[in-house]
Chains A and B, each alone.
Chain A
Amino acid sequence: DTAVSQTPKYLVTQMGNDKSIKCEQNLGHDTMYWYKQDSKKFLKIMFSYNNKELIINETVPNRFSPKSPDKAHLNLHINSLELGDSAVYFCASSRQGGRETQYFGPGTRLLVL
């Protein structure tokens, strides 16, 4: 059973396109996250979201937007893709409060040409 899943695993697209990455968790968690891992393997938070608040990292361009149809899903929409958006995007989820270990999805490798 996959706890946190992401689709697609690989995404190759042209500059200027709009794309979405889907994330689903079956852990019953109420908080979900998106992280970006760059070519140097550095991981940085983009968004965290639960039913009460959306926290946006101030460095994230507004071309990126999270959308949550329900508690188990947090999708990432990216408009007008740029070359610098090429990276691995990880979704994660956790419970709220206490020892909130975050469990990560397998990652989506995005390549913008």
Chain B
Amino acid sequence: AQKITQTQPGMFVQEKEAVTLDCTYDTSDQSYGLFWYKQPSSGEMIFLIYQGSYDEQNATEGRYSLNFQKARKSANLVISASQLGDSAMYFCAMSVGHSGSARQLTFGSGTQLTVLP
């Protein structure tokens, strides 16, 4: 069974500062993918960033980067230069499964990020 743990129910950050949202995972599979999604108060789920288990370099997408530490089974999201619009719930998720099969996402409990002006 797969498990995702997000230990920070809520986080505050000052505008323009960087913030790290923690995520640890547990799986016995060697092939897996790690995702971060953002859910603003409007409710939609927005894909942010992806890291594959075999990717040697940390993923980056604009102001988002994923600090992937495989030995520690962690996949923390780093948001640089926080903006007020970054205030939202952030979910870490994992997919496992073989190529060709439908990969279901297992989600963490989320971290509510509030960016302060």
Contacts and interface: CB of A to CB of B under 8 A. Distances in A.
B71 interface: no
Contacts, number: 67
A104 B37 CA distance: 10
Given A53-B101, A96-B101, A103-B47, 4 more contacts: A49-B102, A104-B46, A106-B43, A107-B43
A26 B39 CA distance: 22
B35 to A, nearest CB: 7
15 contacts: A33-B105, A35-B105, A41-B89, A42-B109, A43-B91, A45-B105, A45-B106, A49-B102, A55-B104, A94-B103, A96-B101, A97-B100, A102-B95, A104-B37, A104-B44
Interface of A: 31, 33, 35, 40-45, 48-50, 53, 55, 57, 88, 90, 92, 94, 96-104, 106-107, 109
Given A43-B91, A103-B47, A106-B44, A50 B102 contact: yes
Contact of A48 (B93, B99, B104): B104
Interface of B: 33, 35, 37, 39, 43-47, 50, 52, 89, 91, 93, 95, 99-107, 109-110
B109 A53 contact: no
A107 B44 contact: yes
When A and B form their complex, which 3 residue pairs have the shortest distance between CB atoms, in order from nearest? A104-B45, A48-B102, A43-B107
A44 B105 CA distance: 8
A100 B104 contact: no
Nearest to B102: A48
